[in-house]
Each structure stands twice: as structure tokens, then as C-alpha cells.
Amino acid sequence: MNVNYNRYVSLMRKISDINGSMAVLSWDQEVYMPAKGAEIRAQQVATLSGIAHELFVGNEVGDLLELLSKDDSLDVHQKKNISETLYDYTRRKKYSTEFVMKLSECTSQAFQAWSKAKNTSDFSLFAPHLKKVVQLKREECELLGYESHPYNALLDLYERGAKVADLDILFNDVKSQLLPFIKQIAEQPKIDSAFLFKHYDKDKQWAFGIDCLKQMNYDFESGRQDISSHPFTISFNPNDVRVTTRVNENDFREMIWSCIHEGGHALYEQGLKIENYGLPSGEAISLGIHESQSRLWENNVGRSLAYWKCNYPQLQTIFPDHFGKVSLADFYRAINMVEPSFIRTSADELTYHFHVMIRYEIEKSLIEGSIEVEDLPRIWNENYKKYLLIDVPSHKMGILQDVHWSHGGFGYFPTYSLGSFYAAQFFAKAKNHLPELEQMIEHGNFKPLLQWLRENIHQYGRFYTAEELCTKVTGEKLNFRHFMDYAKAKFSNIYNL
Amino acid sequence: MNVNYNRYVSLMRKISDINGSMAVLSWDQEVYMPAKGAEIRAQQVATLSGIAHELFVGNEVGDLLELLSKDDSLDVHQKKNISETLYDYTRRKKYSTEFVMKLSECTSQAFQAWSKAKNTSDFSLFAPHLKKVVQLKREECELLGYESHPYNALLDLYERGAKVADLDILFNDVKSQLLPFIKQIAEQPKIDSAFLFKHYDKDKQWAFGIDCLKQMNYDFESGRQDISSHPFTISFNPNDVRVTTRVNENDFREMIWSCIHEGGHALYEQGLKIENYGLPSGEAISLGIHESQSRLWENNVGRSLAYWKCNYPQLQTIFPDHFGKVSLADFYRAINMVEPSFIRTSADELTYHFHVMIRYEIEKSLIEGSIEVEDLPRIWNENYKKYLLIDVPSHKMGILQDVHWSHGGFGYFPTYSLGSFYAAQFFAKAKNHLPELEQMIEHGNFKPLLQWLRENIHQYGRFYTAEELCTKVTGEKLNFRHFMDYAKAKFSNIYNL
């Protein structure tokens, strides 16, 4: 029994209790809170956020970390927890309580403004709030410190170790390898997907989405699904991990794949060990690795032929008028149709990365100060024209579509693309380890895949960094080749290339 | 600008933010939390509760209160806030951490024992735990201090200023005036209410309940209704006051009047002034006054002929098979049927007060030590025979029916009757001030009544005590006569006496 280590654990858990409470407040805010509750909710969140911050950067934690960093009696897991907490602590010490509360209050109001702005497609309602958020984010970069580029400081918050220099190379690969492939696809005959955009009853969609989550082995005794304007996953602890979705009655695709996507996130959180609650070993590594879990389920599994060999018959039973006369092959081609579009969350697997790239470049420029909030609608629309070859019809369908900036989440978007690339690399290895994986999926048996993810990824929490884990599991560092190989094999087949 | 007073306000609001957050956690726990979330949720609540307690009894609050108590520059409202907070502070300081933990542990075990005891109808499982709770409650009386009777110390926790001497007078009135009246009613022909117990569709009931809340001017932009196993009202602040209900498809009465009842509580909370958030002037006076608001809407309004003259036609449209051939007069008689029964929560308006009286007398005797826990089943059953003229068939339907004692809630029950008596007295005065009130209700116009309650009761928070407020509004102290007048007029008519 190490008294100091035990005290450290109990302090970390106290802080997690507060953070988990804040997560409940956030969840409620996005799914059930009445409109007028917003103002004091922002105060409540700011208060809890301040208390958690003060506890974490307080002398007791600092003193314990100093003692425990030199304590050779700790085992390797305990040492890792201490070094990870020390890393977090050092970073957090850079924030004043005042700054934390200011940011929390500002983003809570920005979120409300964004909601209204999006509903009315009126960017001017959001702009003044966004300006404040951007200003605070620029301050945050200075406060955190960085090498080479201020945006690196923000990238590090979501994907530790990610750098502008590396992402620039990566998105250049996207441009040089993926863009020509997409152009090749664009020359092929158009796939008929009109049947996906008929009217799909809300309740039937909802029930099918719940079934998909159950099939993935998402544990409904440790979670639930609700409706929100933007789907998300939120964890209060591994025994209470909630997902949300939205239903579009005129686009069959939206709800199903958001269910599977959020389900993938949730399986990661439910797979963290409850005995590590409050400790780094009980937390997800990074957003990129998190996104690898959602993308793997959404795309590598949920848009595969094997998945629909298993589930299409049920879908035909639920929607006989829609799918009764559509063959599995045609359905599979339609759900994998590659076509530039306005909305990131409903983009296909390939053009998706251009949505991310555009946001990445805007964020980088905003943070370095080479553009300002006023310029965004113009720059957004120009880039959609340049890379996706489309004219954005409204701000609702354009610059206002994502919630992230209202939350201050600059540096977040690139992790979506990283996620897909990690997913491709992990899935290739999983297939390698489980040669029958495709047949298992065809039979609706997802337990071996989940078991593989639990054993190789989920269980470790932050015991390894993203790079270490990737190397441990796949034998090599993150590599764009796996995504490109996957994309070429799948879409060459679909488009007869 | 008084620096100390401002600092006091900001500390009180910080504590309210934490308490409001705990309320969100409780609400979620009762309505949406998945089963496995319970364990860490309990930890989260304990953590927040500890933080709020430490803040409140901390030196900063104590020092500020000492300074501000002597500060003559404060206005009358500020002085009242300080004296009320000082009262709360002084009371809280009387509890040692050791006592709080002992009570918490004891009641936690007692609650579990009570659950089992109730399920098996076996009082002996609960008795040893209840003995410990009673012992701790007796200690609590000594620790808090009291005049005349130890039970006064506990009454004060829920209804400040309530005294055994006054309650004895009230419940003697109940015995001497209400009992003969109920016996007179019992001699009349039985009312036919069988149609209330047919099958009533859940969704239709729900929709009607929402309409009732809207009609009362419950603000759905500052609240919402959900389903829970026991109906309750919970306030996070006046702009977010939520109600819950439950639907019994085989008893039409349950959902409708729980909606109206909780709606009455919620209107009080929504009527507190947001600018007094966190301060005593922004808090409800007492449980008795709170209950007066729910009872006034539930009974004086919601079980009146005028109310159903307004709403019965809609009900007949929604449930034509059930009510199509039932006249308004028969419906009104059925929902007001007086009949002794075992369960307090489903008792009619009149016999209800004997349920409360029996509990009050048991609690008083237990706390003063003139009876012991072993005697309870016998005393309970004897009293139900004596006052309600029924033989209790099992402890589950008798002494074990309520959760309150397992939580240590001695002193709570009397506030239920006080609520009804205050309601009658307030409602008589409201009729006096609004001579057209009955016609307004018939026309579904509840705004003048709500406005009257807002002006005369809600807006003041704790600025007045219950007794002061009652005298201010009605010109006299709480008086059983108003309830008896109301009961006689209404039920003499219903029973043709």
C-alpha cells in the first residue's frame, strides 16, 4: 500500500467525479434542456470547471506528483499514470482559473448563438461569438507555448504530437493521391441512389439504429441513445457512455451510419477498465485513435458488403416499399457512391477528407492570424468550389454546419482524417489476425472483432501513446498507404476501374 | 456597491451552481440513467455534496456573515438575506462530520432494509434499522436544540417555526371537525367511479397532461416533463424547473392529478425571481408553503367543477368510449369520491389528513420516547381502524408503505397537511380578490390566478416566514376553518348533505 499513490488516485477520482458531472450537464444541455435554462447552465458548467481546475493544479496534486515521480517502488503502470498526469498537470498549470472560466462561459454562449445562427442560416448571429472564441484560442496558443506554428499548440490538445508540418504532408498526399482517384471515379457512370432519399419513417429508422448498436455489442445497461442536433458520444465513466443521433426522414443514410459511428466511439469508452476510473490508464489515448474506432465500425465494417449481406434482408423487411426490388449489389453501390457534397457528416468515405482539409487550412490560417472571422464565409465557399467543385447554397449548408468552433474545438477536425487512416491500418491487421473476419461479419458475429479491439486497443487507455500503440499493433507507424490500398480495392470494384 | 455583500452573493451563487448541478444529476438518475451508471453516479453526487458543504461552512462565508450582520448600510432585503443565510449557516455548523457520516451510513442501510421489508411485507427486517435511525434523530434534536418538545427541532428542518403545540391544535381540529363529516359522508350512497379504472391509452393521457400544464401556464421554455417511477418536481434555477409524472393505464386519476400537482410546485419555482438566484430571497419558504401551491392547483382548482366544465369536453373527445356517455356531473362526483383507503398517496382530499395525522402522532411519540419502534405495527393498525375504519391487510399496505422514515425524514409528513390548509386559506383569499375566479377557470383563463400567486406568494422567496406571509396575504395565521369551510361546501354538494 503506497499512501501517496492512493492519495493521488483518490484525488484523480474526485476530479473525474466533477468532470463526469460536467459531462452530464453538457449532455443534458444538448438533448433535453429547455431554452431558457441556457444562461445558468453556462454558469454551472463554469463553476464546476473552475473547481476541477483548481483541484487539479492545486498544491496537493503538485506535491504528490513530485514525490511519486521519484518513487521507484511504483510498478510500470503506476509510473505511467504518474508521468501522464504530470504531463497533463504541467500543461494545465499554464492556464489561469480566470482563463478557463472565461473560455467555458464564452463557448457556452457561442453554442447557443451557433444554434440560432444555423437555424436561420445567418452567419452574422454567430460571428461576434466566434471572434471571441478565436481570440481566446489565440491567447491559448501563447499561453501553452509551441514550436514552429501556434496551431501546433491546439493540435496537441486533441492529438498529442500532431504537427502542422506532418499534417501539411498528409493533406498533400490526400491531394496528390486521393484527388486523382476521385476524378477517375467521377468519369464513371453515376450510381443510382435515388431510393435512399425517399421518405423513411422516423420510428422505423430509430428502431433499426438501436438494433445496429445492439448487434455491435454496445451495452445499453451502460449507456443509451437520444436525439440531438449533432450526433455525439459522451462518457461519464465506462459504465455510462451515451450516444446521440439525428433522424433525417428524407435521407436514409444519415441516421444509420451516425449510429454505427457513435457506437464505435462508445465501444472504445465502454472498453476502458472501470478499475482505472479517473486515471490516465482509464482514458482514451487521443481523438485520432478515438476516431479510428468510430470510422472502423462506420466504414470498414458498416459500409462493407459483408455487413449488408448480414443486415440487408432485415432492412428489406422493415422497408419493403423502398428496398423490396433493390438488389443487395445495387444497395451496396448506392451507399458507397462517391460524390462531392456540402455536408461533412454525410460525405462519402473519400471526398470526406477534403471537407476536413478545408477546415484544417481555415483553422491554421485563423490561428496564425492570416485570415479573420469575417473572411470565413467567402473562403469556405471558394474552397468548396475549388476542391469539391460545388457551389455552397447557404451558410447553414456551409460554414455553419459544424458545432465544433462554437465549443472552441480548434485543432479537432484533423483528427477525423487521422482516424480514418488509423482505422484502415488497424482493420488490415485485424483481418490478418482474424482470417474469418469477413464471414463473421456476414453472420452478424461481431464479438471476435470487438474482442480484438478490446485486447489490442481499448484496454490500454493511455498506457501507450498513439504512435506507440499503432506500432505495437500494426508493426509500423501511421501510414497513408493502408487507407489508399483500402480505398483503391473497394472503390475500384464498385466503379469497375 | 458593497464589496462584502457582493462577495457573499457570488459565493452563494457558486454554491447554488453546485447544488443545481447535483439536481441535474439526480434528475438524470431518476429519468434517464442506465442501470450500471448508478455506482459512479453516487460517487459524483457525494463529491459535489462534499464540495458544496465545505464551501458553505468554510471560514470565508462565516467571516462575511459576521461582518455583514453588523453592516447597517445594507437595505432591508439584503439584511433579510444575510439573516436567513446566517440561520442556515448556524444550523449547519451544529452538525459534526462524524454525525453526518453516521446518519448517512445508517439511512443508506435503513433504506435497503426498508425496500426488502416492504417487498416481503416483513416489518422485522426494517425494525432494527429504524431503531438506529430514531436513536440518531433523537441525538439530532439534542444537537440542534429545541424549546418545549424535541420533535420541534425536526419539524423546523422542513417547516421553520412549526411547533408541536400548534400542530396538536390543528390535528385536534381534524379529529373533531373532519372526522364527523367523513362519517356523515360514509352513510351516503356510494358514488360509481368504475369508469375511471378502465384502460386509458398512455400516449393520450400523456398528451392531455401536457395540455393541462400548458393551460396552467407552466412555462415549457423553462422546464419539461418526463416519466419517472415516482412523480417529482426539481428546480435547477427558476429558468429550468422540471416535472415528472407516471402513467397508470388502468387508473385514469394517477397521471392527470400528479401533472397538476407537480405543475403547482413548478409554478412556484418558476415564479421565484432569477435576480435572486442563489440567495434566500430566491428560495421557497418551506415545504408547507410549497405544498400549498401544489395542493391549490391539484385540489382547489384541478378537482373543481369549474375546471372540468372547461376541460371535460376535450377529455370526452380524447376518450369517447370512456366518457362519451358519462355526464360532467357524474365525472365530477367520481373524481371527488371520499372513501377511506390504505395508501396515503392515493387517498382522497379528506381522508388524506388522517393518514398524515397518524404519522405525525407516531413520529412525535417516537422522538419523545413515549413509544418504541416495536410498538409501531400495532399502533399503526389500531389507528387505521380507529380513524379510517379499515383493517390494514399487510405491513406493505400499512406501516411499510412510505419511504420517508428510512431516509430519516421525521418531521416531513405534517407539511403535507399544512400544505392543504394553507391552500384553502390562500384560495379563499384569491377568490375574494378575484370575484370572477370561478368563471375564469371555466373559460380556461388561469393567468389571473397565477398572477395573484406570483404577486402575493412566489415573488418573495424567503423574505417572509410562512407565518408572516400567511398573515400578510390572508390577514390571519394559518387556520383550519378555511379548509373545513371549503370541504363542507364542496362535499355537502357532492353528497347531497
Amino acid at B247: V
Task: Answer whether A20 touches B (CB < 8 Å).
Answer: yes
Cell of B475: 390577514
**Do B168 and B141 belong to one domain?**
no
Q: pLDDT at position B398, please?
A: 97
Quick count: other Cβ atoms within 10 Å of Cβ B351? 22
Q: Residue B341: what pLDDT? A: 95
User: What is the CB neighbour count within 10 angstroms for residue A452?
Assistant: 19
The model's pTM: 0.92
B141 and B215, same domain (yes or no): no
Clarify whether residues A84 and A113 are in a common domain: yes
Q: Are residues A141 and A196 in the same domain?
A: no
Q: Both A303 and A431 in a single domain? A: yes
Q: Say yes or no: A152 and A258 in one domain.
A: no
Say how far apart CA A155 and CA A163 lie, in whole Å: 7
Comparing CA positions, the residue from B211, B271, B261 lying closest to residue B450 is B271
Using 50, 70 and 90 to split pLDDT, how confident is the model at A229? confident
Instruction: Give contacts of A37 with chain B, Cβ < 8 Å.
Output: 222, 236-237, 239-240
Q: Are A281 and A413 contained in the same domain?
A: yes
Between A50 and A234, whose confidence is greater? A234
Whether A110 and A169 map to the same domain: the answer is no
Binary contact (B37, A219; C-beta < 8 A): no
pLDDT band at B97 (very low <50, low <70, confident <90, very high): confident
B94 has a pLDDT exceeding 90: yes
pLDDT at position B75 = 97
Q: Average pLDDT of chain A? A: 96
Considering only residues B255 and A346, tell me which one the structure prediction assigns the higher pLDDT. Answer: B255
In angstroms, the CA A294 to CA B231 distance is 38
pLDDT digits (tens, 9 = 90+) for B317-336: 999 999 999 999 999 999 99
Q: Which residues contact A180 (CB under 8 A, 6 or more apart)?
A: none
Q: Please list every residue in chain A whose beta carbon sits closer than 8 Å to the beta carbon of residue B44.
A: 17-18, 20-21, 24, 236
pLDDT score for A232: 95
Whether A34 sits inside 8 A of B223 (CB atoms) is yes
Q: Do A84 and A195 lie in a common domain?
A: no
A154 vs A159: CA distance, rounded Å: 9
pLDDT the model gives residue A52:
95
Distance CA A58, CA A81 (A): 18
pLDDT at residue B126, as a whole number: 97
* Spatial CB neighbours of A231, under 8 Å, sequence gap ≥ 6: A243, A244, A245, A246, A258, A261, A262, A345
Mean per-residue pLDDT, B153-182: 97
Tell whether B309 lies on the interface with A, counting CB pairs under 8 A: no
d(Cα A205, Cα A224) in Å, to the nearest integer? 16
Q: Which of residues 275-304 of A touch B (CB under 8 A)?
A: 277
CATH number assigned to the domain comprising residue A99? 1.20.58
Q: Residues of A with CB below 8 A from B34's CB?
A: 220-224, 239-240
Taking the C-alpha atoms of residue A238 and residue A278, their distance in angstroms, rounded to an integer, is 10
List, in sequence order, every residue forming a beta bridge with A299; answer none if it has no partner.
none
**Best mutation site among A214, A228, A239, A277 for testing chain B: the one with the most B CBs within 10 Å?**
A239
Mean of pLDDT values over B417-422: 98
pLDDT higher than threshold 90 for residue A78? yes
In this predicted structure, what is the pLDDT of residue A479? 87
Whether pLDDT at B76 is above 90? yes
Shortest distance between the Cα of A246 and any Cα of chain B, in A, equals 18
Which residues from chain A sit within 8 angstroms of residue B39, using beta carbons? 239
Given a cut of 80, whether residue A419 has pLDDT beyond it is: yes
Q: Of B103, B118, B149, which residue constitutes the final position of a domain? A: B149
Q: Which residues of A touch B226 (CB under 8 A)?
A: 32
| pLDDT tens digits, one per residue of A254-311 | 999 999 999 999 999 999 999 999 999 999 999 999 999 999 999 999 999 999 999 9
Picking from A158, A192, A215, the residue at the C-terminal end of a domain is A158
| Domain ranges, residue B102 | 3-149
In contact, B5 and B74? CB cutoff 8 Å: yes
Supply the angle between the helices B305-318 and B202-215 in degrees, to the nearest 10. 140
Question: Is residue A16 domain-shared with residue A56, that is, in the same domain?
Answer: yes
The answer to whether the Cβ–Cβ distance between A24 and B20 falls below 8 Å is: no
Residue B15 has pLDDT above 90, yes or no: yes
CA gap A210, A189 in Å, rounded? 35
pLDDT score for A260? 98
**pLDDT, tens only, A80-132:** 999 999 999 999 999 887 898 899 889 989 999 999 999 999 999 999 999 99
Which residues of A are marked as active site? 262
Which tens digit of pLDDT belongs to each residue from A359-404? 999 999 999 999 999 999 999 999 999 999 999 999 999 999 999 9
pLDDT in tens, A33-68: 999 999 999 999 999 998 999 999 999 999 999 999
Percent of chain B scoring above 70 in pLDDT? 100
Would an 8 Å CB–CB cutoff place B70 in contact with chain A? no
Same domain, B125 and B227: no
The CA distance from A303 to B25, in Å, is 37
Three-class DSSP category at B225: strand
Contact at CB, A37 and B219, closer than 8 angstroms = no
Which pLDDT score is estimated for B374?
Answer: 95
Residues A342 and A470 in one domain: yes
Query: How much is the pLDDT for A59?
Result: 94
All three cell numbers of A384, joined, read 468548396
Q: Of B149, B174, B196, which closes a domain? A: B149
Q: Is B224 on the interface with A (CB under 8 A)?
A: yes
C-alpha angle B236-B240-B244 in degrees, rounded to nearest 5: 90
With a cut of 90, say whether residue A134 has pLDDT above it: yes
| pLDDT single digits (tens) A166-182 | 999 999 999 999 999 99
**pLDDT > 90: percent of chain B:** 97
Which residue type, as a one-letter code, is found at position A324?
G
Report whether pLDDT(A25) > 90: yes
Q: What's the distance, CA A371 to chain centroid?
A: 26
CATH (domain of B190): 1.10.1370.30
**Shortest distance, CA B371 to any CA of chain A (angstroms):** 43
pLDDT greater than 80 at residue A1? no
Q: Nearest C-alpha of chain B: how many angstroms from A226?
A: 10
Mapped to the 3 state alphabet, what secondary structure does chain A carry? CCHHHHHHHHHHHHHHHHHHHHHHHHHHHHHCCCHHHHHHHHHHHHHHHHHHHHHHCCHHHHHHHHHHHCCCCCCHHHHHHHHHHHHHHHHHHCCCHHHHHHHHHHHHHHHHHHHHHHHHCCHHHHHHHHHHHHHHHHHHHHHHCCCCCHHHHHHHHHCCCCCHHHHHHHHHHHHHHHHHHHHHHHCCCCCCCHHHHCCCCHHHHHHHHHHHHHHCCCCHHHCCEEECCCCCEEEEECCEEEEEECCCCCCHHHHHHHHHHHHHHHHHHHHCCHHHCCCHHHCCCCHHHHHHHHHHHHHHHCCCHHHHHHHHHHHHHHCHHHHCCCCHHHHHHHHCCCCCCCCHHHCCCCCHHHHHHHHHHHHHHHHHCCCCHHHHHHHHHHHHHHHHCCCCCCCCCCCCCCCHHHHCCCCCCHHHHHHHHHHHHHHHHHHHHCCCHHHHHHCCCCHHHHHHHHHHCHHHHHHCCHHHHHHHHHCCCCCHHHHHHHHHHHHHHHCCC
* Minimal CA separation from A466 to chain B, in Å: 28
Q: Which of A17, A34, A221 sits opposite B34 (nearest CB)?
A: A221
CA distance linking residue A404 with residue A419, whole number of Å: 17
Predicted pLDDT of residue A243: 98
Per the rule left: phi > 0, alpha: psi between -120 and 50, beta: everything else, A260 is: alpha
User: What's the average model confidence in pLDDT over B207-230?
Assistant: 97
Number of domains within chain A = 2
Distance (Å, whole) CA B78 – CA B281:
9
Count of pairs with CB atoms under 8 A, one residue in A, one in B:
110
**Antiparallel, parallel or unpaired: β B225-227 and B240-245:** parallel
**Distance between CA atoms of B142 and B248, rounded to whole angstroms?**
44
Nearest-angstrom CA–CA distance, A441 and A212: 12
Grade residue B86 by pLDDT with cuts at 50, 70 and 90. Answer: very high
Q: How many CB atoms lie within 10 A of CB A320?
A: 10
Q: Taking the CA atoms of B342, B345, B351 and B354 in sequence, report the sign of the dihedral they define.
A: positive
Chain A partners of B35 at a C-beta cutoff of 8 Å?
A: 221
Mean pLDDT of all residues in B403-429: 97
Closest C-alpha to B356, from B284, B303, B287: B287
The model's confidence at residue A412, banded by pLDDT at 50, 70 and 90, is very high
pLDDT value at residue A480:
92
| Residue B227 DSSP one-character state | E
CB contact under 8 A, A24 and B28: yes
Identify the pLDDT of residue B410: 98
What is the identity of the amino acid at B374?
A: E
Q: B277 contacts in A (CB within 8 Å)? A: 40
- All three cell numbers of B197: 379504472
Q: What is the mean pLDDT of residues A9-26?
A: 97
Could you tell me what percent of chain A has a pLDDT over 90?
Answer: 95
Q: Nearest 5°: phi and psi at A257?
A: -80, -20
Distances (CA, A) of B403 to B114, B151, B221: 8, 19, 33
Helix (H) or strand (E) holding B242: strand B240-245
Q: Identify the pLDDT of residue A98.
A: 87
Is A34 in contact with B236 (Cβ distance < 8 A)?
no
What cell was used for A86? Answer: 504530470
Distance from CA of A455 to the nearest CA of B (A): 22
Cβ–Cβ below 8 Å for B18 and A224: no
Cβ–Cβ contact A14 with B under 8 A: yes
Which of the residues of B are catalytic? 262
* pLDDT(B306) > 80: yes
The C-alpha cell at A230 is: 449533432
Chain A contact present for B404, CB below 8 A: no
Cell (9 digits) for B283: 428560495
Please tell me the predicted confidence (pLDDT) of residue B1: 75
Interface of B with A in 337-356 (CB under 8 A): none
Look at residue A345 and tell me whether its pLDDT is greater than 90.
Answer: no
Identity of residue A496: N
C-alpha A307 chain-centroid distance: 22
Name every chain B residue with its beta carbon within 8 A of the beta carbon of A13: 43
Residues A62, A66, A71, A77, CA torsion sign:
positive
